[in-house]
Amino acid sequence: MDMLRITEIYKSIQGEARYAGLPCTFIRLTGCPLRCRWCDTAYGFEGGEDYNLQHILDKVEELGVHHVELTGGEPLAQAAALPLMEALIKHGYQVMIETGGSYPIKHIPAAVHVILDAKCPGSGMQEKNLTANYAFLKPTDEVKFVIASRKDFDWAETYIREHHLETKCHLLVSPAWGLVKPAELTEWTLASELPLKLNLQLHKYIWNPRAKGV
């Protein structure tokens, strides 16, 4: 239970969501059951190396950053992600997790900041949304919609209202890289009556959009 398959551990800036722009250590867990058509981390589906919890904690301490995010792949696909989060909290880190929303979040420690990706139709993974998760969102958590078309945006607005997400947490809309222009999504966001936050992935503007370890 203390072993995890890891693709990479690295220091960068947080590229999106609430802590965008702040230094952050990323722990990218290997493997994902989803195959979103716009996925930018397919290299994390396979491979990686086995790390025990202490090895991960030692690496995080070496990088020396207060904010730590578990990402993937799908971090919750590995059972030991939960004890890893608990260990990171115990060591005083501000812990975040980005999850695709197809695994239960109810056992995630309350101190962890959850960024949950709700899958729009354009992802091809819409049927994988586990709507039971929304009952466990905290007001400080965030639900992100990656928008690949106007159809996706309209769907997201309907979906948000259907599940009352605007009353549960913060809402982010992100343009699928190369499929929707940020200016288009900005216009749609401004016209919406929902409290949506435009969410651009800063790292893709700073480095090559396909760069690893950033």
Query: 140 in a domain, yes or no?
Result: yes
Segment (H or E) for 4:
strand 3-13
pLDDT digits (tens, 9 = 90+) for 98-137: 999 999 999 999 999 999 999 999 999 999 999 999 999 9
Query: 213 in a domain, yes or no?
Result: no
**pLDDT for 201:** 78
Which value, in Å, is the radius of gyration of the alpha carbons in the chain? Answer: 16
Q: List the domain range (segments joined by +) for residue 10.
A: 3-206
DSSP of 113-134: EEEEEEPPGGGT-GGG--GGGG
Query: 125 in a domain, yes or no?
Result: yes
- At residue 136, the 3 state secondary structure works out as helix
* Alpha carbon distance 29, 46 (integer Å): 10
Q: Is 79 exposed, middle or buried (0-12, 13-18, 19+ CB in 10 A)?
A: exposed
CATH of the domain at 89: 3.20.20.70
- At residue 65, the 3 state secondary structure works out as coil
pLDDT digits (tens, 9 = 90+) for 166-207: 999 999 999 998 899 999 999 999 999 999 999 997 777 777
